[in-house]
Chains A and B, each alone.
Chain A
Amino acid sequence: MKDGELERWLSNPDAAPPGAVDLLRVAQRPSPPSPEVRARLGRELQQLASTPAFPAPRWPFISGIAVVAVGAAGWLALPRWHTAPPAVAVAPVAARHVAVPIVLGPPPQPLTVAEPMASAPAERPAPSAPPVRSHGPRRAWSRLAAPRSDARAAKPALLKTAPSGPATGADSLAREEALIEAARRTVHARPAAALETLEIHRSEFPAGQLGAEREFLAVSALVQLGRHAEAEARGRRLAAQYPGTTYAQRVQRLLSSGP
């Protein structure tokens, strides 16, 4: 069978590496989901579709969360963590200080520059003439295609942005989403970092809208780290706290698959 000038290896085995066609000949073709699975997944997503639509993500911020989390690990160890309210002590340093939209949607906001994150207290007022430079819109697809390079480019902006006003409901949800997404990205490659990010989420949003997902990712990270007893305990709490959710079922599957 030919496709233009291209002939498939199965039709022209001489063009393929010797022996390769034997493997291709027995390959199993991808198949569609069964009606049962499709319906089940559809029901689960139906619940999801009724949740708030997320604001356009702030990708430099999202990508930089893992970096912030690693830095925050040392911060967490400081005595003031135990005395100051978590919302001030940890992540909000980044949460309310970053506004670098580089995505489509609303017109881009100016990027503001201030002191480095470590020296910027949360109460610090914004500079009187903050606009310095702005990013043009960037296609969402290009981010998906090359998230790593974007993440690298975003780090300086993440650390140099100035504080703005208190987070609105949409901002709060965006931050929740950013933390969860950052944890999701690192949960397999760097589970310890993912756990730290999730801990930030838990301290900031103890009753957050993405609590079930946070707990599921935390269990996944613990499994990755070989901390199975903790994973099981946390998984049980998830199932009790969010019964009937997709994540309760998934965590059960995850834990039953064994170490």
Chain B
Amino acid sequence: MRRPTAPPVEGGPDLSAIYGERAEFVWLTLQRLGVRHADLEDLAHDVFVIAHRKLRSFDGTSRVTTWLFGICLRVAANYRRRAHVRLERPMGGAETYERFPDLVQPEEVLGLREARTRLSAVLDRIDLTKRAVFVMFEVEGLSCAEIAAQLGIPVGTVYSRLHAARKAFADAFAIEQRGRRTER
């Protein structure tokens, strides 16, 4: 079925331009929000489908990345609700994506995988907005100014989200550790 071609929105960004400039941002953001590699392509597609639909309501007063981050949040929140996502960790196919430090010996891989699974479980308990800032700062090593620039929010907001995220992480980590002790 061939659809009619729409005229571009006057003066506004079009989907191709947004994708060309922001595909990587969306891809990275979805990972920060806990989307597994096997699902990234589908969810990135969803993000841009929604972006396409909302282009006319994007008024340009916020940054495109801020706008896209909001869409990523919604898509990732829906993703989190999928029961099978929670039950199937780690996902099949992840091994093709997993990267380990060069010096890791084969016998250490299992331990690394277990640690990463535990980290995912802890991060999954954190509110998505805080989780993104936490991962950007603590895992990726971005500065607060860089995070603020990417998300289009004041640096002060980054600081406050990071403080809240650290507290949430500590709480979630304590729960995870209690669970492990119970299992033993």
**Is the CB of A51 closer than 8 A to any CB of chain B?**
yes
Chain B, 50-79, CB within 8 A of any chain A CB:
50, 52-59, 61-62, 66-67, 70-71, 73-74, 78-79
A 177-217 binary contact with B (CB < 8 Å = 1; else 0): 10001001101110000000000000000010101010000
A6 touches B162 (CB 8 A): yes
A253 touches B78 (CB 8 A): no
Chain A, 53-112, CB within 8 A of any chain B CB:
53-57, 103-105
Which residues of chain A are near B138, meaning CB under 8 Å? 8-10, 24
Which one of B58, B143, B174 contacts A140 once the chains associate, using CB atoms below 8 Å? B58
The answer to whether residues A54 and B53 also contact, given A8-B137, A49-B14 and a CB cut-off of 8 A, is yes
Max count, chain B CB within 10 A of own CB: residue among A49, A139, A207? A49
**Is the CB of B149 closer than 8 A to any CB of chain A?**
no
A29 touches B52 (CB 8 A): no
Interface size on A, residues (CB 8 A): 66
The answer to whether residues A140 and B57 also contact, given A24-B138, A51-B3 and a CB cut-off of 8 A, is yes
The answer to whether residues A55 and B56 also contact, given A29-B140, A139-B61, A144-B70 and a CB cut-off of 8 A, is yes
The minimal Cβ–Cβ distance linking B86 to chain A, given in whole angstroms, is 11
Interface size on B, residues (CB 8 A): 75
**Is the CB of B127 closer than 8 A to any CB of chain A?**
no
B41 touches A145 (CB 8 A): no
B52 touches A49 (CB 8 A): yes
**Is the CB of B125 closer than 8 A to any CB of chain A?**
no
**Is the CB of B126 closer than 8 A to any CB of chain A?**
no
Which residues of chain B are near A53, meaning CB under 8 Å? 6-9, 52, 55-56
Binding site for B on A (CB under 8 A): 1, 3-4, 6, 8-10, 16-17, 19-20, 22-24, 26-33, 37-38, 40-42, 44-46, 48-57, 103-105, 139-141, 144-145, 147, 177, 181, 184-185, 187-189, 207, 209, 211, 213, 224, 242, 246, 250, 253, 257
Q: List 14 A-B contacts (CB under 8 A).
A: A3-B145, A4-B159, A10-B138, A17-B170, A22-B115, A23-B118, A23-B119, A24-B119, A33-B41, A41-B45, A56-B56, A140-B59, A177-B53, A209-B1
